[in-house]
Amino acid sequence: MTVRVGVIGLRFGSQVHVPAFRSDARCEVMALAGRDPGKAAAAARELNVPASFEDWRDLVKAPEIDAVSIAVPPAAQPAIVVEAARHGKHVFCEKPLAASILDAQDALRAVQHAGVVHGMDFTFPEIAAWRHARTLIAEDAIGQVAHFACTWRVETYASRTNAETWKNRPLDGGGVLGNFVSHVFYNIEWLLGRIDGFDGMVCPQGRRSGRAVDGVVRLESGAVGSLSVSSDAFLGSGHLLEVYGDKGTLVLSNPTADYAAGFRVHVGTRASGRLTCVFENEGGAPQVDGRLSAVTVLVRRFLDAIDGGAAMTPNLADGVRVQELLALADAAGHSTARDARNRAAFTS
């Protein structure tokens, strides 16, 4: 079996999607497409990809393409998914799936109706440290989870430069909610169980709009967690997840600039009385995006599903679930902001 893949999106697509697909002998990257046809042609030449397309629609309908790998802003992704499914192409997507629940649902319906394989790039569960943490929790290393805290504080290039990009625009499916918290919600449900709702969510407005989210996450299990994520935290502490059980504590942490490499797992029990590092991810190779290793695992699973006719996980159904959680959190955050303004007006 050889799966012929077309990649839509030049930045993350060229840096991660292309090498991830090329890492599997069952796959051949046949074409690139991007918003700038000149850049697409140049990237194809540099990466030794046989063809480039000025319009993604031409790539999607090309008979020599079996699967489409999409790395574009969330608002643009659903239309590509729908058209790819209409032409019978398998689809590999980035997160978040869309900028709205309705668009995400349309994309899911399209791939289900077409019967094509569909997968999503929720990266963190493919990182060895995260998988080790999940095993420890499942094996009762810290007992019943009572509460947790997730902080992810970094300063992104987009925030630092006020770049005109979806990563700074909540209405386009971006901002911290779309760019970072989409990962967080998927990770929490994968690691700790289904989310039941949110309390006290704060999404700042004004100059920090789309740069931060703070609040409380409630799980169906009864556990409650605090959430604090920001993209404008100069010299921020990085990515930290603390999980507190009735027998001990587990901490997943990554203070490095690489979002995927550099995670450590610490565990402490009542018997030990202290936190001990029990797992450490190897650092990524210089000049290589640390996310490549995890995306490569997902690509292998995507190709396995195409080869074996089975469903892939995570897929667009997971994308819709996360989209619903993002909408709930966003609504809770803006409700809190309105309530605060109303209280201020009432007391003035």
pLDDT reported for residue 201: 92
Q: Tell how far CA 138 is from the center of its chain.
A: 23
Q: What does R_g of the chain's alpha carbons equal in angstroms?
A: 21
**CATH for 3-116 (3.30.360.10, 3.30.1240.10, 3.30.565.10, 3.40.50.720):** 3.40.50.720
Average pLDDT over residues 29-49: 94
Mean pLDDT of the chain: 92
Residue 160: Cβ within 10 Å count: 11
Fill in the amino acid letter for 87. Answer: H
pLDDT at position 124, please? Answer: 97
Q: Name the segment(s) of the chain with CATH classification 3.40.50.720.
A: 3-116
pLDDT at residue 206, rounded to an integer? 86
**Mapped to the 3 state alphabet, what secondary structure does the chain carry?**
CCEEEEEECCHHHHHHHHHHHHCCCCEEEEEEECCCHHHHHHHHHHHCCCEEECCHHHHHHCCCCCEEEECCCHHHHHHHHHHHHHCCCEEEECCCCCCCHHHHHHHHHHHHHHCCCEEECCCHHHCHHHHHHHHHHHCCCCCCEEEEEEEEECECHHHHHCCCCHHHCHHHCCHHHHHHHHHHHHHHHHHHCCEEEEEEEECCCHHHCCCEEEEEEEECCCCEEEEEEECECCCCCEEEEEEEECCEEEEEEECCCCCCCCCEEEEEECCCCCCEEEEECCCCCCCCCCHHHHHHHHHHHHHHHHHHCCCCCCCHHHHHHHHHHHHHHHHHHHHHHHHHHHHHHHHC
Determine the average pLDDT of the residues in 247-253: 98
Mean pLDDT of 140-155: 97
Least-confidence region, from 34-43, 119-128, 259-268, 277-286: 277-286
pLDDT bracket for residue 286 (50, 70, 90): low
Confidence of residue 344 (pLDDT cuts 50, 70, 90): very low
Classify 115 in phi/psi space as left (phi over 0), alpha (psi -120 to 50) or beta: left
Q: Beta partners for 252? A: 241, 265
Average pLDDT over residues 258-262: 89
Tens of pLDDT, residue by residue over 204-246, are: 888 898 999 999 999 999 999 999 999 999 999 999 999 999 9
The residue among 181 and 331 whose pLDDT is bigger is 181
pLDDT for 338 beyond 60 = no
| 340 has a pLDDT exceeding 60 | no
- Contact of 179 with 231, CB cutoff 8 Å: yes
pLDDT of 64 reads 95
Whether the predicted pLDDT of 336 surpasses 60: no
pLDDT of 339: 47
pLDDT at 162 over 50: yes
Task: Indicate whether 146 pLDDT > 70.
Answer: yes
CATH code that applies to domain 124-281: 3.30.360.10
* Rounded Cα–Cα distance for residues 267 and 27 (Å): 40
User: Each residue of 288-334: pLDDT tens digit?
Assistant: 788 999 999 999 999 999 999 888 999 999 999 999 999 999 888 76
What is the pLDDT at residue 285? 58
Check residue 309 and give its pLDDT: 81
**Taking 80 as the threshold, does the pLDDT of residue 68 lie above it?**
yes
pLDDT band at 186 (very low <50, low <70, confident <90, very high): very high
Backbone angles phi, psi at 236, to 5 degrees: -65, 165
**Residues counted in the chain:** 348
Intervals of CATH 3.30.360.10 along the chain = 124-281
Q: pLDDT digits over 78-99, tens only?
A: 999 999 999 999 999 999 999 9
